[in-house]
Structure 1
Amino acid sequence: MNYKDFNIVDERNKKLSPNYFKSVFFREDRIRSEIGRCKWMWLCLLETLFGAELLENLVTTASAGKHDPVKDPNMEFGLAQQLSMHIPSGIFTNLFHHQIIQLLYYKFHLQYLILSRDGIPIPDPQKREIDVKRVRFALQKRLLYQFIAFRRVYIVTAIAASLILNIIAYYVTESAYIAAYTAIGLEALRRIFKI
């Protein structure tokens, strides 16, 4: 029997994949009471700047570290660490360290469910804080496939922001040179944030 040029059928093709743009930029109903709109928008901005680095660091912790066969017999989770340990060291990540912890907690843990916690956070209503110092968070390895889609969202967002700012620069100055310098400056700024 000859199978040349047969179509391949897979049941997954019938289902639409989730909208990752919606996941990144819009709060799920279950966490709307946990975080306000302004803080959410700030975290979205931080995620577009630092999200790819955070994902890379989570992949590293998913494959490294000691494995506890009692807590995780099927090796379903990465290395459990405090949230601050999931942040790669760098000039700007250190500068925005506290806000990136918020990003990891509200978006990566509560919104995307990528980080699973080992322990219970302690809320303090008087200080308006949630203490997670004694809580460890680990990547759920079964969700690693989503990282490519998240990276694409970050890339498309950066391209769209650059395009919009270049168009604004061109219309305000009516100079293609200024628009080109704006594009170069934005790309340089984006790369500097990776330091």
Structure 2
Amino acid sequence: MSMATSSCTFIPTSPPQERQLDGESSDDENNNNDEDDEDDNENVNDDDNNGDHLPDGIIELQNGDGFIKRRKSPKVICFCGYRLAQAPLDYYQELVMLYLPWRDEEIDVLLVDCETTFRRNQEAILANHREFTTFDDATLMKALEMSKEINPLDKYELDEMQNEQYVDVMGEAGAYEHVPYQEMIVHPERLDNDEYEALIVW
């Protein structure tokens, strides 16, 4: 999980129809996987022809069973936490995806009966589950329920009819009050009649 960045490919354990499509589509991902497989085959064939060491990132399995190539982008499986009582099919599918090795999701997980696969590999699944889990599912679900009770975000809703209140902020601030504009106009100095007549006479 330390490498869980934007360069990782995230694989949720929810059914494909419930996933949000973001990034590249599954067709593009399949095409990229096909290209990676072709690159792997070319690298391995070139190595067989040369007889030298294997290319970087490729490891040969014991007894000549094949090769393993390091992924260019790490894949992270996102845990949803289904409950057996509410969604048994999704519950078993999630356990198979998390704790059993699989290569093709559609062939190895979606098209098989995951409950039967779980019953057949129950010991291995539980052993892998104990390796990555410090407490059981019941404790986890109880903690989640307690956190929801402490922070009941969905319990309270606003009733618009009762809580609606009209507030005229501009009116309270006095923006609509008419204040008459008053200014003392200073007239220029004027001559009285006698001074004016005297000015005209001469």
Shared fold (TM-score, shorter chain, > 0.5): no
Larger relative contact order (CA 8 Å, sep ≥ 6): 1
TM-score (norm 1): 0.29
Q: TM-score with structure 2 length normalisation?
A: 0.28
| Pair member with larger Rg | 2
